[in-house]
Amino acid sequence: MSNETFDSVWDAIEDTAAGAENMKLRSALMMALEQHIRAKGWTQIEAARRLGVTQPRVSDLLRGKINLFALDTLVNMVSAAGLHVEMRVLETA
Give the number of domains in the chain. Answer: 1
Nearest residue to 70 via CA among 29, 33, 42, 18: 29
- Nearest Cα residue to 74 out of 15, 24, 12: 24
User: Model pTM?
Assistant: 0.86
Q: Would you say residue 88 lies in a domain?
A: no
pLDDT, the chain, mean: 90
- Is residue 48 in a domain? yes
Whether residue 2 lies inside any domain: the answer is no
Tens-digit pLDDT profile for residues 15-73: 788 888 898 999 999 999 999 999 999 999 999 999 999 999 999 999 999 999 999 99
**3-state helix/strand/coil string of the chain:** CCCCCCCCHHHHHCCCHHHHHHHHHHHHHHHHHHHHHHHHCCCHHHHHHHHCCCHHHHHHHHCCCHHHCCHHHHHHHHHHCCCCCCCCCCCCC
Supply the pLDDT for residue 33.
Answer: 98
- Which CATH number is 24's domain given? 1.10.260.40
Examine residue 1 and state whether it is found in any structural domain, yes or no: no
Identify the domain containing residue 71 by its residue range: 9-80
- What is residue 92's predicted lDDT score, i.e. its pLDDT? 79
